[in-house]
Amino acid sequence: MAYRMQWTDSHCPVARAADIIGDRWSLLIVRDAFDGARRFSQFQRNLGIAKNILTDRLRSLVEQEILEVRANEQGTRNEYVLTARGADLFTVIVSLRQWGERHAFDDGEPSSTLVDDTTGDPVPTLRLANAQEIELDVANTHVRKVDLD
């Protein structure tokens, strides 16, 4: 894992994750990598992002071991491929997608749909449940803070 000297909140996993992947462009690059983008030109075309910003975000995602650089099959260009650590962001991206489906579109407004390749059905809504299959939400969970004393 890449070393980082300053964290927004050194004891909070959400803050650390946001420090690593929390900006808009990084999330959209990871989203596009899940959708099959591999080359700089693909990311640039899909996102309409300035080349200098894309270069910076790709460098950071490689440093944070979210993406790795590999030569393409012809050995002529580099490709950016999700690492296991990057692939582990899939549930995060799906969760953001599903939140966006519920809250970022007007009724009846079209949006893309994530589909299960096996069934052809839309991916079901993510839910958190404990070992007894009781659904977990903000009303029945809490954060156990680090005791600094």
Q: How far apart are the first and last CA of the chain?
A: 28
Which of the following CATH numbers is that of domain 13-88: 1.10.10.10, 3.90.950.20, 3.40.50.2000, 1.20.1090.10? 1.10.10.10
What is the residue-averaged pLDDT of the chain? 93
pLDDT digits (tens, 9 = 90+) for 18-56: 999 989 999 999 999 999 999 999 999 999 999 999 999
Residue 109's pLDDT band, with cuts at 50, 70 and 90, is very high
pLDDT confidence of residue 75 = 80
pLDDT digits (tens, 9 = 90+) for 60-92: 999 999 999 999 888 888 999 999 999 999 999
pLDDT digits (tens, 9 = 90+) for 128-141: 999 999 999 999 99
pLDDT confidence of residue 1 = 54
pLDDT confidence of residue 64 = 95
Q: Residue-wise over 21-60: b if at least 16 C-beta within 10 A, else e? A: beeebbbbbbbbbbeebbebebbbeebebeeeebeebbeb
pLDDT confidence of residue 146 = 87
Residue 106's pLDDT band, with cuts at 50, 70 and 90, is very high
Q: Could you tell me what percent of the chain has a pLDDT over 70?
A: 96
Helix (H, G, I), strand (E, B) or coil at 11: coil
pLDDT confidence of residue 4 = 53
